[in-house]
Structure 1
Amino acid sequence: MKHIVVDHTLINNTRIAHGVHGAGEPVVLIHGTPSSSYIWRNVMPHLVAAGYQVHVFDLLGYGLSERPWDTNIDTSMTAQVPILEGLLDLWELDTFHLVAHDIGGGVAQRFGIQSTERLRSLTMIDVVSYDSYPSKRTRQQMDAGLDVLIETPDQQHRSHFSDWLLSTVQNKQKLSDDAHDVFLDFISGPVGQASMFQHQVRHYDPSHTMELADQMHELGQVPVKLIWGADDAWQVTDWAHKLNQAIPGSELTIIEDCGHFSPEDQPGRVAELIVTFLSGR
């Protein structure tokens, strides 16, 4: 197991794990839920080999970044935008290519609409948008109360979310034992379980993306690539087509035999699509 975030910094008095790899044009990768920057470990080397400098980080409340004890600390998609901006200052990046997965797409959409001039391009992979989340099942769990979920016995919690993680890929073997265990450990245990519900599930609120619904066309000012798993059960391809229609000039590629965690199911194909897109800018 090798994490690709190796450094730590304070952004708005919270500790953020991050890493920079390679040299060349800057590319920033934003992960989603319930994962971490670890999801990029098989994509990043291809980008570095193609001559890009790759910047990765764990969102606040995720992965190796701080899990705030204070529940008043906002870890929503909207609140992650200042975290990204702080890292851009640290990395001294004025303009860059942005690649986002899952709820990272919500962060990217908010940043891209408010700071379009800073984007060289935007790639969104199986992202949330509009009111595409949470799922009916997750909504029912949220309605039952987060406290109930936080206090679920560890073995029962791990069993449930082990199955949940496996539903992110089309080929169950593609979510290797290492990756499965890394993601599961991050959201389990005395810190991880409570943190997952307080810092992730609690903020599965479509208001963060619905606020942007009538502004999505503004992203068409920069080159936009959409990459989607044909078998994505979390964000079905209907949302890919809706985004494609809403963002003028955007390109859409749907990957066959691929689920929601595209960087796990088809990392080589995802990397190839990103490199081809960026090299044509």
Structure 2
Amino acid sequence: MTQSGTNLETERWIETTAGPVHLREIGPPTGSPLLFVHGALVDSHLWDGVAARAAALGYRCLLPTLPLGSHTRPMNPGADLDPPALADLAAEVVGQLGLSRVTVVGNDTGGGLSQILTARHPDLVRTLVLTACDAYEQFPPRSLRAFFALGKVPGVLALGGQLMRLRAARRFAIPRPLSHRGPGDEVIAGWTRPLRDPMLRRDTVTFFAGIDASHTLDAARQLRTFTGSALLIWGADDRVFGLELGRRLAADIPGARLEILDDCGAFVPLDAPDRVAGLIDEWLTG
């Protein structure tokens, strides 16, 4: 375990039935737990700004890196990495921590997984927080379907990993529709480095192959009877998922509230971390 920063930060590897999962924790261990779920080809550092602010507010922030393409240790050979299995994997991580109720916070593909997690393990989820993410027929979203299709072609991810060795190429890795601000170059380098490892690419291709809208459509049907609370946060400038998707989810999940943030793309955690953390705190304590 390590400690860093003004908030207590620990990290460890959790051995799950599917393989090793890296987990960081930030904030007081006695705080109300928030489970942050990232999307494809990024890791838990997507949530650093939100988690730092939430930890300062007294929350225990759980930041696993799931095997979605930016993980650094391969999963077990033959491990099931389709979306329901990954949702179960996240639930297994929570269970190994001895927790029975958490707030789940998802973005991008991780928001789709968060919906599936909530549908499959409703007693585990106290509150569902979705920030600009896949849902319904958009898993993957229409604007990125060609990208996800290419990711299943042998050699494409390897080529992408080699290109991302170049700082100039990394400058274009997170375009404005995804984020108005973007992470630092060091973070992007960390996200793309695993693409150069054949075992990690194997996991990524397996994950990509399992993405299918049937999973999010099924989750959406089950969320209509969700008895916990739900907060949705969308960027006003999100052209990947679009505001209509957020409005549709807010209408279908009982008691859900939709917040729209100006000057934000799809990666709301990068564009407005303090505001996202503040909204979560207001929702949980209001």
Normalised by the length of structure 1, the TM-score is: 0.85
When residues 88 and 143 of structure 1 are mapped into structure 2, their CA distance, relative to the original with a 3 A threshold, is: closer
SS in 2 for 1:104: helix
DSSP 3-state at the match of 2:172: helix
Q: Relative to 1, partners in 2 of residues 1:100 and 1:153: Cα closer, same or farther, differing over 3 Å?
A: closer
Is 1:15 matched up with 2:20?
yes
CA-CA distance at 1:25 after TM superposition? 1.4
Gaps of 5+ in 1: none
Please report how far the alpha carbon of residue 240 of structure 1 lies from its aligned counterpart in structure 2 after TM superposition: 0.2
2:111 to 100, 105, 126: 105
Q: Report the secondary structure of 1:6's partner residue.
A: strand
Shift of 1:41: 1.0
Shift of 1:8: 0.3
Query: Residue 165 of structure 1: SS of its match in structure 2?
Result: coil
Counterpart check, 1:266 vs 2:272: yes
Q: 2:240 aligns with which of 217, 234, 237?
A: 234
Asked if the contact 1:37–1:63 (Cα under 8 Å) also holds between the matched residues in 2, the reply is: no
User: Partner residue of 1:28?
Assistant: 35
SS state at 1:152 partner: helix
Counterparts of 1:10 and 1:69 in 2: how far apart (Å)?
Answer: 10
Match of 2:185 among 158, 161, 177: 177
Matched, 1:216 2:223: yes
How much does 1:168 deviate? 4.9
Distance 2:158 2:54 in 1: 41
Partner of 2:93 in structure 1? 87
CA RMSD of aligned residues (A): 2.8
Structure-2 residue corresponding to 1:166: 175
Residue 123 of structure 2 is matched in structure 1 by 117
Q: Which amino acid aligns with 2:218?
A: E
Q: How much has 1:227 moved relative to structure 2?
A: 0.5
Post-superposition offset of 1:264: 1.0
* Percent of matched pairs sharing the same residue: 23
* 1:207 positional shift: 1.8
Deviations 1:177-231 (A, max 9, x none): 2333222334x32348734741443233212112224222122x11110011111
1:163 corresponds to which letter in structure 2?
A: F
| Contact kept in structure 1, 2:164 and 2:192, CA below 8 Å | no
Q: Deviations over 1:80-128 (max 9, x none)?
A: 1221222122111011222111222222212222332332211111121
SS at match of 2:138: coil
- Greater displacement, 12-21 / 244-253: 12-21
Q: What is the TM-score with the length of structure 2 in the denominator? A: 0.84
Matches within 5 A, 1:250-265: 250-265=256-271
Question: Does the aligned pair in 2 maintain the 1:15–1:65 contact within 8 Å?
Answer: no
Matched-pair contact (CA < 8 Å) for 1:175–1:265: no
Work out the CA distance in 1 between the residues paired with 2:155 and 2:188.
24
Greater shift after overlay, 147-156 or 241-250? 147-156
Whole-angstrom distance in 2 between the partners of 1:55 and 1:134: 25
What is the distance in 2 between the residues matched to 1:170 and 1:61? Answer: 19
Of 44, 47, 58, 1:40 maps to: 47
Per the alignment, do residues 141 and 166 of structure 1 end up closer, same or farther by CA in structure 2, a change over 3 Å counting? closer
In 1, the alpha carbon distance for the partners of 2:161 and 2:99 equals 42
